């Protein structure tokens, strides 16, 4: 098995101890916001062609910036402009700290100085992909899969059901995004990162951030 394949498997593993288990990829905010649990599959598929597109393209652009010796500050700015909810941005930067801690131990050659002061998760994943030799296409699929798998795993804790069913939903979400993988993998300019927002999810996230009782941070 190739080293890039192993890196992709490592980063896509929910057991990776970086704190990702504390996030639901918008699933808990959606449920507490009033979304019926029976619409969870639709949520996963919708995110795969909206917010996950932004995350994947941001990661690819950050990868390109690191590989070409540039700064990922412009990439971070493009991501922030397409992620208007402060709660979503805060959750992403918190996750990024865990990934950055991992990267510093496993890939000490990571150019931390080229990253923004408070990078988002997608920028850190892009930097890891650059130093670990993960191809852009694999990075795109990793980001999309991880979002769907995180949401599905969270649902099993919030609204228990047959895990086989939710596994099928992950495949459906990845299939929904597959036609866009090649174009996302070709992104080099932060200006062309898709502006595929999900306003309802952003609203749910903001409301969820103010709750006193919640299982997941976001």
Report the half-sphere exposure of 26 (CA within 13 A, side-chain side): 27
In this predicted structure, what is the pLDDT of residue 19? 64
Average pLDDT over residues 26-40: 94
Average pLDDT over residues 104-120: 89
Average pLDDT over residues 45-70: 96
Over residues 159-216, the pLDDT tens digits come to: 989 999 999 999 999 999 999 999 999 999 999 999 987 888 889 989 988 888 888 8
Whether 218 contacts 23, CB under 8 Å: yes
Handedness of CA 27, 31, 34, 38 (dihedral sign): positive
Tell me which residue of 108, 99, 94, 105 sits closest to 62, measured CA to CA: 99
Tokens of 138: 């694999």
In this predicted structure, what is the pLDDT of residue 47? 96
In this predicted structure, what is the pLDDT of residue 6? 75
* Threshold 0.75, pTM exceeds: yes
pLDDT band at 17 (very low <50, low <70, confident <90, very high): low
pLDDT of residue 1 exceeding 60: no
Distance, CA of 118 to CA of 77 (rounded, Å): 11
In this predicted structure, what is the pLDDT of residue 7? 75
In this predicted structure, what is the pLDDT of residue 112? 86
Q: In the block, which residue shows the tokens 């649902």?
A: 155
Q: Domain residues of the chain, as ranges?
A: 24-203
Over residues 129-169, the pLDDT tens digits come to: 999 999 999 999 999 999 999 999 999 999 989 999 999 99
């Amino acid at each position: 098995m190739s080293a890039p394949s192993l890196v992709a498997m490592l980063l896509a593993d929910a057991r990776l101890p970086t704190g990702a288990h504390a996030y639901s990829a918008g699933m808990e905010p959606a449920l507490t916001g009033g979304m019926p649990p029976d619409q969870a599959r639709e949520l996963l598929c919708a995110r795969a062609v909206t917010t996950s597109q932004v995350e994947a393209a941001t990661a690819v652009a950050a990868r390109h910036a690191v590989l070409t010796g540039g700064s990922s500050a412009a990439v971070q700015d493009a991501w922030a402009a397409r992620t208007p909810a402060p709660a979503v941005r805060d959750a992403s930067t918190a996750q990024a700290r865990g990934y950055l801690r991992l990267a510093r131990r496993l890939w000490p050659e990571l150019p931390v100085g080229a990253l923004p002061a408070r990078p988002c998760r997608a920028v850190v994943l892009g930097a890891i992909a650059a130093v670990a030799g993960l191809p852009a296409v694999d990075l795109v699929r990793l980001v999309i899969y991880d979002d769907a798998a995180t949401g599905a795993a969270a649902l099993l804790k919030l609204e228990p059901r047959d895990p086989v069913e939710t596994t099928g939903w992950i495949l459906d979400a990845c299939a929904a995004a597959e036609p866009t993988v090649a174009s996302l993998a070709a992104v080099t300019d932060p200006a062309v990162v898709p502006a595929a927002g999900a306003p309802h999810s952003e609203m749910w996230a903001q409301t969820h951030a103010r709750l006193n009782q919640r299982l997941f941070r976001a």
